Amino acid sequence: MKVGVCIKSTPDADTRLKVAAGATGIETAGIKWVISDYEKGALEVGVSLKEKLGGECVLYSVGSGDTEKNLRDGLALGGDRAVMVDDAATKGTDALGIAKALAAAIKLDGLDIVLCGRQATDDENSQVPAMVAELLGWPHISFVGAFAIDGTDFVASRNMGGATEKVRGALPVVVTTEDTIATPRYVKLPEIMKAKSKKLEKKNLAALGLSAEAIAPAATFSAYSPPPSRPAGRKLAGDAAAQAKELVRLLREEAKVI
Amino acid sequence: MSSLFDRYFDDSHRTLRTEVARFVAAEIAPYADRWEEDASFDVGLYRKAGAAGVLGPTFPTALGGGGGDVFHGIVAAEELLKGGSTGTVAGLGSLEIALPPILALGDDAQKQRFVPPVLRGEQIAALAITEPGTGSDVAGVRTRAARDGDSYVITGSKTFITSGVRADLVITLARTSEDPHGGLTFFVVERGMPGFTVSKALKKTGWWASDTAELSFDGVRVPLANRIGPEGSGFIALMQNFENERLMLAIQGHALAERALELARAYANEREAFGRKISKFQVIRHKLADMATRTASAKALTYAVAAEMKRGGSVVAEVAMAKNHAAEVAEFVCREAVQVYGGMGYMREAPVERLARDARLLAIGGGTTEIMREIISKTMG
């Protein structure tokens, strides 16, 4: 079984994002880039499938800089090798551009399963995995909370907001996972050290048979602006009874929530 | 500010830090207050920590350790201490001082027998040096091990032994001849050996969650296979062991100070007096600035010493300096944090109250401040 896991490097959840000067993006200085939360579960599933069924678990990512560190972290968790699409032209592309790069890299490896998080924790657009599936000509199963292989089929459970939908089908398949699908194992130091010498291939667009024009974005971001700052809270005065009375009045008449 | 110390760490350290932090957030932080008040942490934590690879980051991988360098050890210790229970870290960490004599002096069979189960968290190891009549003056150890055929008979008592109550393996320093230094030998005393008893669990100023014991050896028969190294080899191994122990205590110093500083800053930004946040008062801001400066100085010295240890240099005096400085800084910063908290800082529910108690140990454990000064001054001629 050859399993691929797509990983996106996103700002750490504790990051306080700021709009960069010129409003053309976010200020990236000082940001700690980590594996997107939703993809940590996908990674655990991918590694577990490989351990159970044999074969290979390959990690894919598009980016530079910290992307390599995050791929190494994925290798420490149990990935066998990694492919990093490292090309300046990918900066500023859109979801379809990223999907084209990933699909081209995946095609070269002949995988059975591609796992992705249901969305990235930064832009949360949920577009790339479906596009990868389309470009590969594979089915795409989204919002998967449980995933298993049964013979030559896959069996996936989709969370449908209170109900569960079971899907069975033939491989290959692209799957997007919920973050609850699996708890990532703790990575031990010997695995971290071993990951340093695992194969991590950097490929530019030309190596994938793509060009900068092929992944040019259909639309570009024109401006970023921070959300409006929250107004200061209001302090109520008086004794407890007076405060409670005023609070109820405000909730009813101003906030209109009761 | 953190970039000042980045040079000591590579990606492997950063990844380990993230992983230990995950473990601490899930398995220690939610229970830290209860464990400290109960004066005992969940014994199941050893296995969980072993399974997560948190125990023994610097021990050889062939024995189940992490195979890392001294900075991997630092990263793990710093993150564990952020969990809020110094006592728990002391208990989990007793293996860090108990196992090195086996690594230094033991044969392969002893290493394979004793080390991996401890690093898996299946067994608990403690180091027993101090006695009711002997502390820093190790040459005064009176617990005796008398050879009797293919075994030794150990008689005596030990006190202030971290993890002593729950230990499965007590790495015990005993006297095999009258030579003050050359007559000391390590033995592994195992739980359940006839004559070996835990006399009592001791109550302490700080480190409440760690168990601290008084141990009794009443004619405990220990097989030759449990003697670590040749007779008389204990003192040198113990001296080497002290370097690691003192470094770990120095790390604990800046880690406690950092936590106290962080808590004090947060509290100062919340607490109001005279109509404004107390962080707006210059007296508090300057206090926090002093706390930050001293904490950084302790960390800088300790990291510099650790880097020299990693390089293989001799740091006997330098590690003593680092421990003394970090102990002073920790006591100062934790005391000041209590001061920022005011009346609340004197309450048991305030985390800084616990830190101030915990910090007091640092000037005593692993050799007192005064002994450290002796070591430093001897190198000055």
pLDDT digits (tens, 9 = 90+) for B308-350: 999 999 999 999 999 999 999 999 999 999 999 999 999 999 9
- Domain total of chain A: 2
| Among A93-97, A228-232, B232-236, B363-367, the least confident range | A228-232
Give B-chain residues touching A72 at CB under 8 angstroms. 11, 15
Do A250 and A141 share a structural domain?
Answer: no
What's A28's domain CATH number? 3.40.50.620
Catalytic residue among B131, B214, B243, B245: B245
Q: Nearest by CB to A187, which of B19, B61, B68?
A: B19
A220 in a structural domain: no
What pLDDT is stored for residue B287 in this prediction?
98
Mean pLDDT of A120-138: 92
Closest C-alpha among A156, A93, A90, A82 to residue A125: A93
Order of all β-strands in the sheet with A153-159: A164-170, A153-159, A140-150, A173-177, A113-117, A2-6, A56-62, A81-85, A199-203
Query: Between these two residues, B75 and A232, which has the higher pLDDT value?
Result: B75
Q: CB contacts < 8 Å between A and B, how many?
A: 43
How far is A88 from B335, CA to CA, in rounded Å? 52
Whether A100 maps to a domain, the answer reads yes
Residue B9 has pLDDT above 50, yes or no: yes
Q: Which of A164-168, A251-255, B29-33, B133-137 is the least confident region?
A: B133-137
Domain shared by A199 and A249, yes or no: no
Q: Do A237 and A126 fall into the same domain? A: no
Whether A133 contacts A174, CB under 8 Å: yes
Is the CB of A193 less than 8 angstroms away from the CB of B12? yes
In a domain? residue A80 = yes
Write down the pLDDT at residue B119: 98
d(CA B335, CA A128): 53
Q: Is B245 a catalytic residue?
A: yes
ipTM, two decimals, is 0.87
In a domain, A227, yes or no: no
pLDDT at B192: 96
Question: What is the identity of the amino acid at B73?
Answer: G
Residue A225 lies in a domain: no
pLDDT band at B2 (very low <50, low <70, confident <90, very high): low
Residues B167-183 have a mean pLDDT of: 96
Per-residue confidence at A15, pLDDT binned at 50, 70, 90? confident
Q: What is the mean pLDDT of chain B?
A: 96
The pLDDT of residue B291 is above 80: yes
Is 50 exceeded by the pLDDT of residue B1?
A: no
Predicted local confidence at residue B331, as pLDDT: 98
**pLDDT tens-digit profile of A229-258?**
888 888 898 999 999 999 999 999 988 888
Is the predicted pLDDT of residue B24 greater than 80, yes or no? yes
> Region A31-54: what's the mean pLDDT?
94
CB proximity A186 to B under 8 Å: yes
Closest CB from B12, B53, B61 relative to A196: B12
Q: What is the mean pLDDT of residues B19-32?
A: 97
Residue A189 lies inside a defined structural domain of this protein:
yes
CB-side neighbour CA atoms (13 Å) of A226: 12
- Does residue A202 share a domain with residue A239? no
pLDDT band at residue B200, thresholds of 50, 70 and 90?
confident
CB atoms within 10 A of CB B61: 15
Q: What integer pLDDT is reported at residue B197 of this predicted model?
A: 96
The alpha carbon of residue A186 is apart from the nearest alpha carbon of chain B, in Å, by 5
Domains of chain B: 2-119 (1.10.540.10), 125-232 (2.40.110.10), 236-378 (1.20.140.10)
The DSSP letter of residue A64 is S
Average pLDDT estimate for A25-52:
92
What is the predicted pLDDT for the residue at A16?
86
Mean pLDDT computed over B233-240: 91
B352-370 average pLDDT score: 96
Share of chain B above pLDDT 90, in %: 94
Contact between B54 and B76 (Cβ < 8 Å): yes
Residues A6 and A72 in one domain: yes
Quick: pLDDT tens for A22-34: 888 888 888 889 9
**The predicted structure's pLDDT at residue A64:** 86
Indicate if A205 and A236 belong to the same structural domain: no
Residue A130 and residue A192 in one domain: yes
Parent domain of A236: 232-258
